[in-house]
Structure 1
Amino acid sequence: MIFFHLSTSCLFSFTKEEVVSNTTSSFVFQNYTLSENYKKAKIFYENKDYANSLRLALKISESDNPKNEVELILLNHLIANIYYATRNNKNALVYHKKTLNYLKEFNLSVDKNEINSDNITYFDKDYITSETLLNYGNAFYRLNIRDNIKRYKDSALYYYNEVDKINTLKNNVLEVKSKAYNNISSIYMNDSLYEKAKYYAIKSIGIHKKINNKVNEAAALGTLSSIYLSENNFAEAKKTYINALDLIRNIKTDKAVLVREKLYFNLAYNLYKLKDYKAYDYQELSYIIKDSLRDNEFRGMIAEITEKYNFDNKKELFQKQEENKRLKDQRIFWMIGIGAFIIILSLLFWVNFYKLKQKNLRLKLSQSKLIQNQNLEKVRSESQVRILNATIDGKETERKQIAETLHDSVSALLSSANLHLQATRSQLKGDAPIEIDKTQKIITEASQKIRDLSHTLVSSVLLKFGLKFAINDMADKYSNSQIEIDTKIGETRRYHQDFEIKVYNITQEFVNNILKHSKAEKAVIRLDEVNGKLSLKITDDGVGFDKTKITNKDGLGLNQIDARIQMMQGTFNIDSTKKQGTVIKVVLPILEKDGINLA
């Protein structure tokens, strides 16, 4: 089961496999003078101009030197948060660790009655410590999601529990604790430890109630609903989702809108499981266009700035430039010498020039003929691929049209006929004729068969909820006592409907081949969006096959799949050995869905 999870700190959507709270720093300091450059870097960060913020912060760290112990702590804390915000997790861990070490090393007690001025800021050690521990744990958990290494998850839990040990009733520290509780709850939910997960989710909700933060309280209720959904307690999940929506129904902030969107989507899936067809109305309310280009741009700029301030790399680059210059001068010398030698040879052998020219002409004619033959072969091959692809497109379009006709027209007519029979029954006095009962049973059976046939032609789960839910539904249907099909689906979203249908059909063809030929006991379908492309990987532990015997991808329906992937400008690779299973990898450029008018 896959659904969106709401994190009270970042309010982004996550699958059951990934949830980490993001934090936005709001610094409160204790009477220390800070440099103007640091203040500018902090303003850049608060405005989400991470590139300029990092550039200036690194300059202070490596050139200007911090003015005092407090600025040293805050500077490392700021750099860590920039790397964390841009998902550069390993660098974030380095600077989070520095921040914690400096907090332990320095004695920061200062007379609170000191006069304040424009240069002096109040330092809150408890808040800085709690936020650093939280983000330290978050970075470890992100690495666990990427690499699936248990010690990363254990480290995340350790630092979340360290946040819990901070003994203070300050609202800002309590808010950090609520985020830690929420993340602990999510980890336990992923491990199916639902009682522990609910315990920490309820603790998080309690803090938000205490400090009257309704948006974060609604998001935490969303987390609790997700736990109920994982337990298949759909009624309690529905009740909790609706309570969360009621909390923020009249709040218009960006964060509240984003929380509502995820709550609507999760509620839609919950209602779908309850067979309540209002699910589709809620699902439409949840569609919001997401733009990831800005995030990718930030990551690129952050990497560029980090490289710029890495002095070892700059030194190595300078040495390479000097070596390249020396090699360039050497090449010029040899080119002049070789040129002179060629001129001498030309003068000595000018008599043979004409014969050589004729020979080259004949060679060029032969090459030209060969190229023409290759081009003709390429055109024939491309034509065959286009014809095959057009045939598949026609079949998919026809299946979709038939399914829509059956579902929207024939099914509606049968339902109308059933209603008329029901009305006739109510108008008759006494017992209705037995023919009416039989007719209603026949209509009901016909309606069910039409729904089943419509489902077989095109998955309604795919059309309504997208690839993530459709592939999970496929795995559930095909799993049986002889083979278990599992799914591992990362961060995906809705794409163009034709693109989703093609990917679904490709996946279904691979799964059918596994069921028919592999004799496998277990198969895994992995789907994830990586660098703007959709990555599909299917593995099984079956008998495998000899790759040398399918060099033309013939015999298992692979020729049709290959044609489809070529037309989608994707890549396709099969790695299989007899008695050692099979690994199939497909990478496809994403076709985005049409924009949604939210006015």
Structure 2
Amino acid sequence: MFRLLLWIGLVGLALASQAQPVPRNARLDSLEARLPQLSRPDTNRVRHLNELVWENRDSNPRRALRLAAEAEALGQRLRYRRGLAKTYILRGIIYATTGRFAEAIADFDRCRRERAALGDWQGVAGAINNIGEVQASQGHYQQAVATYVRALRLEEKYGTPERIAADLANLGVVYYQLGRYAQALRYHRRYLHLPGRTPDAHNDAQAHYLLGQDFARLGPPDSARHHYQQAIAISHAHTDLHTEAQAQLGLGELLVARRDYAAAATALGTALLLATQVDDAATRAGALSAQGRLLLAQRQPAAAQAAFEQAYALGRRIQAREVVRGALQGLSTAHARQGRYAQALRYSEQTAALKDSLLNEASTRQITEMQVRYDTERQAARNRLQAAQLRAQQQLIRRRNTQLIGGLVVAALLAGLAYLLHTRRRLQQRVAFEQERQQLERQRAAAVLEAEENERRRIGSDLHDGIGQLLTAAKLNLHALQQQLGPGRPGHENLLDNALAVVDESFREVRGISHNLMPNALIKRGLAAAVRDFLDKLPSDNGLRVEVQAYGIDATQLPPHAESVLFRVIQELVQNIIKHAQATEVTIQLVQSAAELTVTVEDNGRGFDAQGLEADVGIGLRNVATRMTYLGGRAELDTAPGRGTTVTLEVPLTAPPAPAA
């Protein structure tokens, strides 16, 4: 015994010198500082005391119990049920973690009654679930499963998905105790990775600890070690000494199995130190048993015997039968290695008897599952009966409501008809508005084109009547001057001849511009003659051969405004061909029928990509489209790089009406 205590003391001193200092709990310090300010015995002090109980549960469980006693007394005096329920569940958790299982169950049951009186069924489910956890810790698996199922039924009705998953995780603990590790792993993973779960440091650390246990049984061991270390890191960062002690114990047992004895001694020493600090009797007993197994592996059976004896005494005190069984098995092995075979046989027989008791109780879980299935089926039968009664009532209600529904349907139809009429009226208004807008657009385009044509005529008339007359007078004056000077002056004759030639050239240029602005052929002989006249005046040295074909258009002239617009469009298209197409042949067809006039301008030039035209390059084509819109017609462009261009103009001869002069 002395050697074991000395060894534990040395490990504890080494850990105290190497371990990082425990982080201070800022919230606990704040709550402790505020407690003297809440001296008035009211519900605020009860709530504050409960908060202090929770923050002290791991770091100072004895103070937590004193604060809980004060909160209970004040809550009973004030008849403050909600505060009492909180006090009972917090104190029950502390009792459970310190191995005082009977007191824990009593407090959880008190909490259940207070929550039921308040109508808080989710709180009732939580208290029942805590009772199941205590029963599982004692090894009463049949009772624990029945209690968990009872809590789960309430959670499914009143709880949240997260609380349901937590209950299923508790069932995973039972599966672990029964040796069904794969099922336990599935439940524990489901809790840790629950979508939408609110993160909680204590619960996350517990989940990693449980997963470490599962992987320690199933493998691989590296996964178990990872989860144990995760649990240690999270619980240490949040001063959760109870969970840190459990995780250190699990890690130590894993290291013993892997024969890493030095690291195992450190982990188990830390677990024992933390469990003692928070008065966690169950974890302390487990750590003592694990240290006994470590000493046996190091061939120190006497020291191991002392550790198992302490674990046995502690397990019997807290009624933890799994701990007692492990301690008895360890004592049997320790005595056998010391040659005390009689004592070893006695402990082995006690171990077998206790193991059989646990197995018999575990086997009753199948009966419990059958009972649960029976209850489920019975509830389903009751549900079917209630559903049949409900259907009969619904049929009666449907008969009574038939007239009301019919009236509602008629009202809905009338409302729908009114809506359709309203929609139809709105559509008619929209169509009328669109027609008016299009009419205004046509009038605006007509006004612009008419103003443009009038301006052309005015400029042409001014050039012909004004500048043309002036050039004629200048020519006459030069002829008169030539006659006055007479022959015999060669220098003067050359100058006069040059001046007369310039005046003639200017006269022809002004006459050409005037005719382009106001072609006489268009006015006197119609569109086809004007187009031919315009093409005849094109330069003959550009290598372009132009052919004009007119069908049904010579005999009957078009309306003047249509002739003028089409002539300008053809001019624009021919000028584009000369400038850009590099064509050698152009064919212009004018075909008039009773309903429309079709003009086709086709060249054999290089063509172009109509979609890729830049904005400033396509101005002429947009002008063509605008003028055709004014006439109520349309322009179609067919072109591609390398195969020429064809422009087709279609103008109706009945609409739109000619604009007023």
Interval of TM-score (by shorter of Structure 1 and Structure 2): 0.3 to 0.5
TM-score (norm 1): 0.36
* Structure whose alpha-carbon radius of gyration is higher: 2
- Where is the helix percentage greater, Structure 1 or Structure 2? 2
TM-score (norm 2): 0.33
